[in-house]
Amino acid sequence: MVKGQDLAVSLEEFGLSKYEAQAYVALITKGTISAGELAYYSNLPRTKVYPTLLKLEKKKIAIISKSKPIMCTAIAPEDAFDEIIQEQINRVNAMNSLITKLKELSEDSKKARGSEEQRYFHLAANYVFKQLQTMIEGSKTSIHVVIDSWGLNLLSQCKDVLLHVLRKDIDVKIVIPPSLVGSETFHGLPTGIKIKTADISQNVFIFDDSEILMINSNNGKGAIFHSTDVLGTNQVKSFEQIWKNGIKISNLADMTKSDAQETLKAIQVITENGLGYVLNSMINSKGKGIDILNFLNKNGIDLESKTLDEIIALVDSTLDITCSGHLKYESNANHFVIESKVNSGHSIPWALLLEGYLNKKGIKTKMIYNGHVHNGERIHIKVDSKISITS
């Protein structure tokens, strides 16, 4: 009975009414029966049986006798619904034809407005990692990446394929947020990758400046599109700008996370406010020294407890990062030399940091600044006694 009810409901989709469908299923099931029996087997109200039979006869899916009592018989399904099925087929074909014409009209309209539809490939979260590996392996000239913790975790799992492309001299550049520098996944990246840090929160992988994979950190889903599209072209240009303004961190690769984070924080504080603090102090110090260590301490960075070797490593790293400079100790002349390729005064706070540290350790110093060394600047810090440096 349940099966018959299901069939009746399905027949309604062929244009039959509820009563017509119930009556036809009963006739198919019971064969030739009287109108009274049909009312019983199909659960139709007696007043509705004859009108329903007339409708079935008109639709050519049932036969009604002229005798008394009225007998009724169903037309075989393959004959009864052949015409209806053909009507449905014609209807679907007409709908497809209409949709095709509407699509053509839409595309013509877009062309007239100077716009063009682009199609992107969407990736389920469980397929993104496999696709990332495939795209890395298939790269020919460059892989440029901007990633957050989600993307870095995925990329660190691609170490073998990354090593393979690095051996082919493919240009691999990655930009990560400062919070990830020194992390376990950061250290999991192979040597040879150029890395910078910047305040970003996205996952964009650009391959050969021609194909782009974007990943949503919220759900892990991805999308692939060509860089010739407007969005793709913008992403390529955006990476170039982010890379240009990013802070290089290759010399922080061997540091622990805490040391790397402290170095980056010191760079941020001094880069943003260090030179201004120095100039302010020179105007308002009234003969007092410029205490960069105290300035950093107020910003949550305590360097006084560090060893001289650690301070030298910090200053040397930050000079390389901020102004392509370096720090070295020349024992024969008993002085430190700070050199910068940028003639902007940005090496001065780092020289004052080293000098301040030495003074607090009881070592007297004399600083000489030369801002006209080729296209950069040089600072000498003369010390009054020999210094033991292990690094």
Q: How far apart are CA 45 and CA 67, in angstroms?
A: 22
Residue (of 204, 127, 190) closest to 158 by Cα position:
190
Instruction: State pTM to two decimals.
Output: 0.59
Q: How far apart are CA 22 and CA 48, in angstroms?
A: 12
Q: How far is CA 306 from CA 11, 108, 237, 309, 369, in A?
A: 85, 70, 42, 8, 26
**pLDDT digits over 251-273, tens only?**
777 788 888 888 888 888 887 77
* Torsion-angle region of 217 (φ positive above 0: left; ψ -120 to 50: alpha; else: beta): alpha
**pLDDT digits over 1-49, tens only?**
445 566 777 777 777 899 998 999 999 999 999 988 999 998 899 999 9
Please tell me the class of the 2-80 domain: mainly alpha
Phi, psi angle pair for 331, to nearest 5°: -65, -35
Compare 85 and 42 and report the one with higher pLDDT: 42
**Both tokens of residue 165?**
């492309």
pLDDT for position 255 = 80
The third-level CATH classification (topology) of the domain covering 257-383 is Muramoyl-pentapeptide Carboxypeptidase; domain 2 (3.30.1380)
**Superfamily the domain 121-249 falls into:** Endonuclease Chain A (3.30.870.10)
DSSP state of 254: T
Q: Where in the sequence of the chain do the CATH 3.30.870.10 domains occur? A: 121-249
Q: Long-range contacts: 168-174, Cβ < 8 Å, 24+?
A: 170/139, 170/140, 170/141, 170/142, 170/143, 171/141, 171/142, 171/143, 171/144, 172/142, 172/143, 172/144, 172/145, 173/142, 173/143, 173/144, 173/145, 173/243, 174/145, 174/146, 174/147
pLDDT-derived band at 204 (thresholds 50, 70, 90) equals: very high
pLDDT for position 112 = 63
Report the range of poorest mean pLDDT among 144-158, 268-282, 288-302, 308-322. Answer: 268-282
pLDDT for position 227 = 60
Q: Where in the sequence of the chain do the CATH 1.10.10.10 domains occur? A: 2-80
* Side chain identity, residue 318: T
Compare 281 and 16 and report the one with higher pLDDT: 16
